[in-house]
Every structure is written in structure tokens, then in C-alpha cells.
Chains A and B, each alone.
Chain A
Amino acid sequence: MSTRILTEFELLTPNTIPEALSILNEFRDNVIPIAGGTDVLVAMKFGFSTEYAMSISAIPDLDYLSFDPNKGLRIGANATISQILDSKAVKQHYPALWQSAKIFATPQIRNSATLIGNLLRASPAGDCSCAVYALGGSIVLVSQQGEREVDIDDLWISYQNTERRSDELAIELRIPAPEPAGRSAFKRLTRVNEDLAKLNVAVNLVMDGDKCTHARLAMGCVAPTPLRLRATEKLLIGQTLDGSVLKRVMASVKEEINPIDDQRSTAEYRKSVSGVFLRRAIEQACDIS
């Protein structure tokens, strides 16, 4: 049951990254970082409590989104979903990410929610998480011990658990430079338009003519974390995306996912639309209709 009272916590607002790292180092599991707070504050209303909360919003220069055709996309920890939506480079080179930002929540939420927050929430329903998973990339974690780059493939360990240690701050997401023949798309199913996904899917393909040379497929709400459809990806690589390949792909995804019944849908439904949905995302990416 929700409460009208937020649990008591001490709010820390470091002004620099070193200050933030020293706070994290000192309080470890007793401090939770807050970016936009759109997940953390909702959790607090439903009983989550913490001794310390550290808002990173006062740290300057973390709200960047920069694109370099050779190096790719870099997104700072304070960059919001609205910024992603406003970026022409994202729209042009990373359609899956842009589309996931487009359907994301409402303008108010998009103005405060961050992309890094979405990844670190480690929700199997995270929309931008699904898109980033398909696009591939890495997240930069820093601590007083130094900096490391964690591949997105290794980020999510289990339901709401990530590779991040409690003394680490995520400062940046890196997404590789777009392939000239790359194509991507994102789609989701919801109960009403403004909702969390009951199923989401993102595809990232590299095409050589009508042959697929590289594929990354991700699906959400079908496992405890966002899921990469590795077996299904293999069915695409080296293939022309014709009817029979797509049929095999559709059959495969059903076998690869392990959805459950919950408030938003049923396991049966998720299984039965997963193939169609993936096929449509592929068609959308490749402009097949």
C-alpha cells in the first residue's frame, strides 16, 4: 500500500564527481543514487527505504549527448529522455533508441527521467534499455578505485540487479558508431498508450543488399531482465529476409523467451504475439511492408 509520507532519508547533493565517489565509497549499500528519480521516488511511496539518497543533478557537465560519426554516441548520466528525443543524430542513426524515447511515458516524465537511470533500474520492461541492448554499447562506471567499461551484454545480472558495485557511479553510456548499412527499430505493446510495456522488442540489423550480415535482437517483459534473442539472431545472419526465414525466426523467438503472467498481460499472450511482433520490428527496420 502506498503512503502519504516519504520514508526519512538524508539527501546528499554532491557538486563534483569526486565528491559523489567519496559519498558512494563511504555509504556503499546505504546510499542510493538518484538521477531523475522517476523510479526511486515511486519506490519510496511504496515502502522502499534508504538511509541516504544521493542526487547527481547538481554535478555539472553530465547532461551531454554527443554524436561523432566515427566514435558513436555518448550519453551522460544526467541526459534525459527528452534530450534523446530532441537529438537529430539519434533519430537518424539510432532509430530504435529514438523510437523508444518517443513512446516513453509523458512529457513531464521524459523531462526528468534519464537514459542511464533506465538502464540501471534493470527492469525487464525498460523501453530504452531494450533499444540500447539491441544497439549494443557499454556503460562507464567510476569509483575511487578507477574507471571500467561494462558491456551492455554483461550489465544485467538478475531481476533489478546490475553489475554496478555500490561504490560505483555510472557516468556515461557509449553506443558504437552506426554501420552505414545498419537498420534498427523498436516497438512495444501496452494496455493504453501511456503505460509500461507488456512486451517490447528492438532489432538492430546490418544488411548487405537484402542479406543480413549482423543481427542483435532484444525483447523485454519476457524474462527477469531484458533478453537478447541469441538463438534467433543466428537464424538471420547470412540470410535473405524472405517469408520462410521470417517464419523460422517467429517460431524460434517463442522458444527463446520465458514470460510470466502478471498485471500487464499473460505468459500465453506474450508467447503468442512475440513472433509477430519481432517480425514486424524487422519489417519496420528494413522498410518491408
Chain B
Amino acid sequence: MTEFRTVGKSEIKIDVKAKVTGRAVYAADINLPGTLHAKIVRCYEHAHAKVKSLDLSEAAKIPGVVKVFAPEDLTTKFYNQSVIDIMVSEDMRGMLGDIEDQKILTDHVKHYGDGIAAIVATTEEAAERAAERIKVEYEPLPVYLNATESSQDGAVQFTPQKPRNMAFELPEPAFPNNTLGWGDADEGFKEADIIVEDNFYTSKQKQAQMEPNSYIALYDDDGLLSCWTSTQMPKSVQPKIAKLFNLPMSRVRIIQTVVGGGFGARLGMVLEPHICALAMALPGHPIKVQSPREEDWLTSPSRHPGDYWMKMGFKKDGTPVACDAKFVNYKGGYYLDGSGVAFTTGGWVSGLYKFGALRYKGESYFTNQPVCGAYRGYGNPQTNFVLEQLVDRACHELKIDPVEWRKKWHKDVGDDGWCAGVPYASCALDEVLDEGAKAIDWKAKREKYAQQTGVKRRGVGVAVMVHTSGAMPMLLEHTVCTVRLNEDATAVVAFACSDMGQGSHTTLRQIAAETLGFPLEDVSLSVGDSNDAGYDIGAHASRTLYVGGGAVMAACKDALKQLLERAATMLEANPDDLEIEDKQIFVKGSPDRKVAASEICSGGVYPFLNPQTGAPDTIPGQILGYSSFNPMHNSPPFGACFVELEVDTETGEIKLIEMVNGHDIGRAINPAVVEGQLEGGAQQGLGMALTEELYFSTDGKVLNNTFTDYKMLGPSDMPKITNVIIENPDPHGPFGAKSVGEAGLVAPVGATANAIYNAIGIQITDLPITPEKILKALNEKHAA
């Protein structure tokens, strides 16, 4: 194996000290002189209503209030808070139709907590007091909390562009019969010996990232609009804000503050339009909004809940002859990236197994719920819950070991990936499954638990998944990187890739140091200000290490090439014959013919003219490496998760015992970071499986937008976790690396459900799987 200098080492994350000492500066910590405070006034009376009248006069009288805003006092231009519109090609955009359906403030309330007015005051307190004085009269409208209700005849239309409130279905031109897949599923089912089929519901899960939403904006005397935000996508927010306010991009500056977690909640914009609009209305004043934690559940996008039906046919020997599936998601009040999850949910089905035929339909319908968008996994956890349970149901009927079935029927190198036309170039799922099964002692436990009696029943379950590294070819993948070599031969690497806590700045720095052949501490990063770096689509689709890493590598190679070319001139050698070690460049085989990198770099920065010759003594020009990188692949990583748990059959309670999370990483650039991603993902995946769900009263009010009642697993709820990381370098990824950002969340969902199935022989089809549901099912089974 190649010897690496820093790749493969668990270097300490660069943000860790600032975070644990509390010194990291989040948007909420920034207080510019003269800051005014904004409050967005939200509708908490109704989930669906027209504003008949809005009286702001009493609010305006509160001491400290600077200005009050009704919808028409700010831009009433429609926009879309997601960035889907700038990620897809013109053709694809045409197929989506008009997807701009949001206004900064609205007079048509489409969900609990929709914004209807805004206040700017000298203190947060005055703004909040003023908000209490606003008088609103509403005309209530019928509330639709699922797709069936909102698509019925005569339902109130959310937007004229989308009849029957259908926000999206797979578009005919790209997906004949609005379906994704291959072969003839109806014919396939005719060959089946057994059919498994069921209806599932997947819940509305929230990222609940640690940092609540805070933003600052300033429209300064120079006509520059600056916005401080912890968005995951500064370079995508910049053109969106420019468009919304008719400004050239040169007049918009996005300063990314420390991102306190994203997981998709900060993919695109949340309150950036609001704070920028208020700043434009009050030029010269920094305006800050700090929205309470409870508002995060209402304003930033959640996972898509929905009804998921699936049917699969198998031959006696386990051959999966056909799969038919339909996911109908509840989009919430606005479109956002309405096309994304409706498509990818099927993509994850198509990418995993070699079905004889597959037919998938995906549809999105507006509902009177807070919006949905990206959440780590992007449709994959929903698919995992459904697909993996049905596979296990079939394995049970066919008496086939679930691990063996998966090893036999998963897609492999050369097979078409989650997006048709991009075949897999690497796959280590067999090894991941073998090692994982060994680590959890699969065979022995399955045998032992088949013989159980008694109140407490153990179960062990498996699920597998495939994800992606970046979203090409469906979405744009592009990152620009520059590498500037200082005169002492240290490097400044500039890019707009986001570190949301996932460790990407640390790992990208490792890639830079490794490529340049420099020690890690000789590489510093220039990040954060959208005007200081070239383009980067933003952190989504598990792309940052893969695409950003590709860009960093290419830019570093460019810088290195320039360095070697200059060394070659100085040493009168061929650049191909040179080597760099400890920042000394020497001719291979003759270590005495060498020049220090610092000599070249310094000579480039200080090219003094020789008084005798009139020419510079050194080769002039500071070295600047550059790349504008588009990946050629999406190198999907595979994963397998094993969960062992215990079900208390008298109370329905579940105790998590152990988890083995196996991952096909390609190459672990930083193993500790990989483990961190897997374990963090596991916590969210287990939470999705067991406790997390946003729920509503019948009139559409959100009942649990607080941590009192939105329950996430804490440290003491977590099982013992073993990570199995298999390194099988991918031909496309930087140093062979594939992604791990989202993957860790996915398979724990199916594995947990399957462990419960193994323990008690019951499959719960509604997420989350609560003791209440388990006990009810056990009682029904008992009665039957």
C-alpha cells in the first residue's frame, strides 16, 4: 500500500478546540455596532387561512419599534427557498414548471407558523412586545394534513401552477408513464412464487441541529448587501438573494458563520430572504434576527413524510422477479425541492437490488404542514424502512438467510447505479456484510433467538443501503479551488465548501497537504466569505469530501506542477524526474541536485532585478494553483447495519443492545471523522425508527415543536456501536475515497425494524415504532 503522510490519519478536527471552549463565533454571537433586531410575526391560530385584515398601528407605537412591515411593505416577488432551481439543467427546470411559490410575508397562511408580518426594533424585547399588539383577522380555510385530503376535488389550491395540489410527479418526458425503473413489472410478477406487499407510513423527522436560526444583514452605504448566515450553501444563496432583490452578484456578499449543524435544514435559505429584505428597507443598519428554537421546526425544511406502498415478487430460490412501488409524500405548504425526494426515493430502490423489473412512482402533494426538503439521506431512510422490511418478510417466507440473500442480489461493480447510466465502479458490500455479520455474531444469534420463550425477546436484524457521493448526473456538481503558495512555501487553500461539523475542512486540508507533499500545519484554509472563493454548489448529497476533495487535489496538483516546472528549470532537469520530500525538490536518484520549495516560492514573490543583467535573478510570479472541478462519477458507497435489541412483550418497550455499522468508504481520509459520521448518523437513524416525529392536532397545529416532546435519543439510549470500515479504493474518488456524510443514518432504520421483526415476528409499518404500536400489535396477534 502507498505510504501517506496525513491521509488515513485521525487528525484532530480543526474546529474542535473553538467549539469545546465556546469560542467559536456563531451568527448569534455577532453584534455589529448599531444593530437593530427583527421579529417575524407568525400565524399560530391557523394552519390554513387568508389574512383578511392586518392592523399594525398599535405595534408601531411600542417604544423602541423602528418600523413595522406588512407583506406589501417588502418585496412581494415569489421565490423558492431551496436551491433546486440552480442545480438542474435548463431542460430539467422546464419540466419542473413554475416552482416559485413563497413570499417573504404572506396573506395566505399555508402552515402553522407561516410569517405574516415583521417588526424591527432597537431591542429584541421591544420587537417581541410589539408583535403581541398586532391585530389580525383571518378567514379560516380547510386544513389538509395528507395528500389524500389536499388532492381531493374542490380542495383549495395552494398555487395556481400546480393543479390538484400535486406539486410534482416524475415528469413524462424523462420518465415514461411517470415511472422510473426497467422491464415489465406486471410480467415479472407472473413468474413470482411469492408476493410480499404492504402500505407504510414514514414520519416527519426534523434535523434538530444544535444551532437555532440566527441571521444578520446589512445594506451598507456602498450599496453592498452583506448577510451573515450559517447556510450550508453560501455560493448558492448568493445568486438567489441577488435575483430576489434585483442586485448584481457583485453587490451581494454572503459571510458564512460557523455552522452549528445542518443535516439539510440549512440547504438553501431559511430566513436569509427575510433578513435581507429588512436590511434593504433600512439601509445602513445591521439587522439581526434570532429565531427561537421552536420556530426551527416550523421554518426550516424537515424530512418528507408520506405513504409508501411497495410490492415485490420472488421465486422460491429468492430471485427477485419484480418490484412495484409508489411513494406519495406530504410536501408541506411550499414546493422547495419538491422534485428531489420524490425522485431519489425511487433511485435508492433502483440502485440496491437486481430486480427482474422495477416500476416506481413518486409524487409530492402540498399539505398544510411546515415545509419539507433535504434531511440527511434524502429519501433513502424512507426506502430503507420499506424495502428492507419487505425483503426480510420474503426471506422469512422463503427460509433464506437475510444476509445471504442480500449478498446474492445486491447490485455490484458494472451494474447501473441509483441513476441509470452511471454504473458502479466499486463495491465492497460483500465484505462489509461478512465483517459486520462476524462482529455481531449473526448466525449464532439468529439461531439462538429463534428458540426464545419468555417476556423479553431478543432480535437481531440487518439492512443494507447504497448512497451517493455528490449528485451528478442529476444535479450540478462543481467546486472551484485555488491554492496560493506563500513565499515560505506554505499554502493557503481557498474554497467555499462548508464544514457543518462533519469535519470536511479538516479532511480537505489533509487532501491538500498530502497532494502538495507539505506538512499539515503548512496548509491553511481561506473559507467563509463568498467573495473570497470561487464557486461551490454547497454541502449536500454527501459531496464535500468527494467533489471538494477532487477540486482541492486538482488545484494542488496544478500548484505542484508549477513548482516542479520552476525547479526543473533551476536544476536543469526534466519535471517528470523530480520528487518532493520535506519541501525539498530533488532529482530522483541524485539527492544532491536539489532546491528548496521555499527558495522557489520566495523567488517568485521577490523577483529582484539583477543590476548587472537587468533581468530578475529568480523566476517571477507567486504560484497560484487553480481548479474548476466537475466529477466524472458519483462513486456510491454501500453500507450494512446490524442491530440487536430486546423487546419487552408486556410493555412494548425496546432496549437497544448493540449495533454494528459497516461502511464501504473507499478510503478513510480521516478514520475518526468517518466513525463520527457513522455514529452521528446512527443516532438519527435510530431516532427516526423509534421516537422522532412531528405531529399535529386535527386543525394542523404542530403539537411538539419543543425538545420536551420531540424526542431524540440521548447518550444513555444509544446501544454499544462498532463501526466496520472497509477500505477498497474507488477509481474516481480523491485517494479512492467515497462518501459517508449521509450514509450512516440510512440502514439503521431498516435494521432496527428487522431486529424487531426477528424478536417478535411482527413488522410495524408506521414510523416511529413506539411501544404503544408494538403492544397493540402484540395484543392483536395474541387475539388472532
Contacts and interface: CB of A to CB of B under 8 A. Distances in A.
B294 A2 contact: yes
Interface string A252-289: 00000000000111101100110011000000000000
A269 B775 contact: yes
Contact of B124 (A5, A192, A269): A5
B407 interface: no
Nearest to A277: B651
A273 B691 CA distance: 19
Tell me whether chain A's interface is mostly helix, strand or loop, or mixed. Answer: loop
Contacts of B650: 273, 276
Given A2-B706, A269-B772, A272-B775, A192 B713 contact: yes
B714 A263 contact: no
B709 A3 contact: no
Contact of B717 (A193, A263, A273): A193
The residue in B294, B651, B703, B714 that gathers the most chain A C-beta atoms within 10 A of its C-beta is B651
Contacts of A276: 650-651
Contacts of A5: 124-125, 128-129
Contacts of A272: 775, 779
B716 interface: yes
B78 interface: no
Contact of B711 (A189, A195, A268, A273): A195
A192 B711 contact: yes
B709 A1 contact: no
Contacts of B651: 189, 273, 276-277
Contacts of B13: none
A4 B293 CA distance: 9
Interface in A183-231: 189, 191-196
A189 B704 contact: no
B714 A194 contact: yes
Interface in B115-135: 124-125, 128-129
A273 B652 CA distance: 9
Contact of A192 (B42, B704, B712): B712
Interface residues of A, number: 22
B284 interface: no
Given A192-B711, A192-B712, A193-B714, A1 B294 contact: yes
B653 interface: yes
A191 B691 contact: yes
Contacts of A193: 714, 716-717
Given A263-B704, A265-B772, A4 B124 contact: yes
Given A2-B294, A3-B128, A5-B125, A273 B775 contact: yes
Interface string B126-165: 0011000000000000000000000000000000000000
Interface in B756-772: 770-772
A263 B713 contact: no
Interface string B193-205: 0000000000000
Interface string A174-187: 00000000000000
A213 to B, nearest CB: 28
Nearest to B293: A2
Given A3-B128, A263-B703, A272-B779, A192 B772 contact: no
A110 to B, nearest CB: 14
B128 A4 contact: yes
A76 B42 CA distance: 45
A276 B124 CA distance: 51
Nearest to B126: A5
A272 B708 CA distance: 24
A273 B772 CA distance: 10
Nearest to B703: A263
Nearest to A276: B650
Interface in B710-727: 711-714, 716-717
Interface string A1-35: 11111000000000000000000000000000000
Contacts of B703: 263
Interface in A142-197: 189, 191-196
Nearest to B779: A272
Contact of A191 (B293, B711, B716): B711
A269 B12 CA distance: 47
A127 to B, nearest CB: 15
A263 B128 contact: no
Contacts of A2: 292-294, 706
Contacts of B706: 2
A15 to B, nearest CB: 30
B709 A263 contact: yes
A80 to B, nearest CB: 21
A266 B125 CA distance: 38
A1 B713 contact: no
A264 B294 contact: no
A196 B704 CA distance: 14
A201 B66 CA distance: 54
A200 B625 CA distance: 65
B319 interface: no
Contacts of B293: 2
A264 to B, nearest CB: 7
Interface of B: 42, 44, 124-125, 128-129, 290, 292-295, 650-653, 691, 703-704, 706, 708-709, 711-714, 716-717, 770-772, 775-776, 779
12 contacts: A1-B44, A1-B292, A1-B295, A5-B129, A189-B771, A192-B711, A193-B714, A196-B708, A268-B772, A269-B652, A273-B650, A273-B652
Given A1-B294, A193-B717, 8 more contacts: A4-B124, A5-B124, A192-B711, A192-B714, A196-B708, A263-B709, A269-B775, A276-B650
